[in-house]
Amino acid sequence: MLHLIFQSPIDNAILERIDSGDDVVFLENAVLRILKKGSLCGVLMQLLKVTRLYVLGDDIEARGIGTAELVSGIEVIDYAELVNLTVKNPVIQSWS
């Protein structure tokens, strides 16, 4: 399953619904919540053990966030890679 997370702040209930092997992309203002110094750092580090987390590069750039500020292990992708994830995952859940 592909989870597209737009919501900020990110509700912990959303993160609890992510299963092992799911793909998760943080978009728009949700990118503000995936910083190393953020309150979700520990939860995101645990998720990275069982799933892949992504962030859209244009969204972090638009908000002045550098890749070094992100939780380590979150992959920065572009729109083409986002499209590939939508093709790979037949089920998509948007959280906004």
Q: CATH number, domain at 13?
A: 3.40.1260.10
pLDDT in tens, 57-93: 999 999 999 999 999 999 999 999 999 999 999 999 9
pLDDT in tens, 45-55: 999 999 999 99
Distance CA 9, CA 31 (A): 10
pLDDT of the residue at 47: 96
Burial of 27 (0-12, 13-18, 19+ CB in 10 A): buried
Question: How many independent structural domains does the chain possess?
Answer: 1
pTM, rounded to two decimals: 0.95
Extract the tokens encoding 90.
């037949």
Extract the tokens encoding 78.
């572009």
